[in-house]
Amino acid sequence: MAYNILVINPGSTSDDIGYYRGDKPVFEVTVRYSLTDLEPYEGKNVTEQLPLRRKLILDYLLDHKVPLKEIDAVIGRGGFIRAMEGGVYAVNDQMVSDLETGRYGGIHPSNLGGILAKEIAQYAGCPSFIANPVVIDELQPVARYSGMPENPRISIFHALSQKRVARLIAEKMGTHYEKVNCIVCHGGGGITVGAHRQGKVVDVNNGYEGDGPMTPQRSGGTPNAGLVQMCFSGKYTLRDIRLKLRGKGGLVAYTGTSDVKDLEEFIRTGEKRPGSLIHCTREEAKLAEDAMIYQISKYIGSMAVVLEGKVDFIALTGGLMHSKIIPQEISRYVGWIAPMYVFPGSEEKDALRDAARRALDNPKIVKQYS
Ligand SMILES: Nc1ncnc2c1ncn2[C@@H]1O[C@H](COP(=O)(O)OP(=O)(O)O)[C@@H](O)[C@H]1O
Ligand SMILES: CCCC(=O)OP(=O)(O)O
């Protein structure tokens, strides 16, 4: 059956939204937010951003003359809720409360996906869902060890994107996601690299405030001793340190910007566009980007070890893979491990739309959150 489905995918630096009548997209947009747009929300609960992100969606629906009452389902990207297995979940009050309070350790914009889906579905009088939220946990036992029992490694990653892309490639290869071993890197505001063994993500970095490569706006893993010293130096508040981990760490700390397109234009031409936030030289900008690529590649290499060298393919996805430099350079480092496929941007909207269709077709697959 042809359903009318609204898809809401909030990211740390963008909102991806789409409305579909059957297979036909009525609109599909990615709205990017600059550092300046998001500055007023720094260090605050992500729910402060609800009015900004809600207005964007309602304006698009209005501009495209979509009557709310025709919507059959609203589906959002799921954020920080209790760690769970993959699948489609109905958004209920318990989930909204967990997303709003960040009780499960995170106040990432993806939390807004479920909250906005429920709100808009209530106006429309239809069901709301989330699918494959960032907290899916399929880590193998050895991957949980950090060396500090009180501080285990945990699974927080671009589950929806990584699984979608891996599934698409496996199908193109004439096989199934559940039958392949692969490494998937999603590069956006956060960067995660997962080892997928026959349909399970058995190891992955925690791309929120955990470990892994530095990103356009996150530090990734840092040297322990230096970080502990900074924390107890009296120079920084808890908020300052958290902002260094997420929001103001990584490329933006070295160069002044997390806009990699802008940064690459500067590296290429030596010219800063009017209003650019870049505060470094061209050489420093290039070295910082090279370092991020080097760290991503090292992480991909380590996941090949997790899979004991049995890697059917490597996949790169996310906004960063639009770059003319990043996928090419990663391929230079790790292309020898396995064939590499690049899916620039996000497959997440399609993944969400298809999940909502499956849920409407077969309500039995919809899981209940508690
Ligand atoms: N054409 C491009 N070239 C290089 N980097 C790009 C390009 N387009 C987007 N990016 C970068 O991708 C990152 C955002 O990726 P995205 O997946 O949209 O992030 P998120 O979903 O985390 O908000 C930003 O650093 C942005 O500058
Ligand atoms: C790793 C959690 C999800 C995440 O970081 O998403 P963004 O890259 O969109 O911030």
**Segments making up each domain of the chain, as ranges:** 4-135+348-365, 141-338
Q: What is the pTM of this model?
A: 0.93
Please tell me what DSSP assigns to residue 6. E
157 CA closest ligand 2 atom index: 1
At what angle are helices 224-231 and 238-245 packed, to 10 degrees?
A: 150
Mutate to test the pocket of ligand 1, among 29, 254, 261 (most ligand atoms within 8 A of CB): 261
Q: Is the CB of 167 under 6 A from ligand 2?
A: no
> Is the C-beta atom of 12 inside 6 A of ligand 1?
yes
SS3 state of residue 202: strand
161 Cβ below 6 A of ligand 1: no
Closest CA to 325 of 273, 264, 263, 240: 264
For residue 133 and ligand 2, the question of a CB distance below 6 A is answered with no
Q: Name the residue at shortest CA distance from atom 18 of ligand 1.
A: 319
Q: Given this model, what pLDDT does residue 297 score?
A: 98
The answer to whether the CB of 318 is under 6 A from ligand 2 is: no
Query: Which CATH entry fits the domain spanning 4-135+348-365: 3.40.50.150, 3.40.630.10, 2.40.50.140, 3.30.420.40?
Result: 3.30.420.40
Do residues 164 and 345 lie in contact, with contact meaning Cβ atoms separated by under 8 Å? no
Are residues 113 and 80 in contact, defined by beta-carbon separation less than 8 angstroms? no
Q: What is the pLDDT of residue 43?
A: 74
DSSP per residue over 29-62, as a string? Answer: EEEE--HHHHGGGTTS-GGGGHHHHHHHHHHHHH
User: Which residue has a Cα nearest atom 3 of ligand 1?
Assistant: 323
Question: Contact at 8 Å (CB) between 346 and 319?
Answer: yes
Cα 248 to ligand 2 centroid, rounded to whole Å = 14
| Residue with token string 């995660």 | 192
Structure token digits, residue 301? 């290499």
Centroid of ligand 2 to alpha carbon of 149 (angstroms): 25
C-beta of 250 in contact with ligand 2 (< 6 A): no
- Domains 4-135+348-365 and 141-338 agree in fold: yes
164 contact partners, CB below 8 Å, separation of at least 6? 347, 348, 350, 351
Superfamily of domain 141-338: ATPase, nucleotide binding domain (3.30.420.40)
Residue 150 has what pLDDT? Answer: 97
- Helix-strand-coil split of the chain, %, nearest 5: 45, 20, 40
pLDDT at 360: 97
Give the phi and the psi of residue 77 in degrees, each rounded to 5. -70, 135
User: What is the enclosing helix (H) or strand (E) of 4?
Assistant: strand 4-10
What is the C-alpha to C-alpha distance for residues 198 and 178, in angstroms, rounded to an integer?
4
List the 181-187 sheet strands across, edge first: 200-204, 191-197, 181-187, 313-318, 340-344
Q: Cβ(157) to ligand 2 under 6 A?
A: yes
Decide: 156 in ligand 2 pocket, CB within 6 A.
yes
Question: How would you write the pLDDT of the chain (370 residues) with one tens digit per residue?
Answer: 799 999 999 987 789 999 999 989 999 999 888 778 888 887 788 899 999 999 999 999 999 999 999 999 999 999 999 988 888 999 999 999 999 998 887 778 899 999 999 999 999 999 999 999 999 999 999 999 999 999 999 999 999 999 999 999 999 999 999 999 999 999 999 999 999 999 999 999 999 999 999 999 999 999 999 999 999 999 999 999 999 999 999 999 999 999 999 999 999 999 999 999 999 999 999 999 999 999 999 999 999 999 999 999 999 999 999 999 999 999 999 999 999 999 999 889 999 999 999 999 999 999 999 8
Tokens of 367: 């899981």
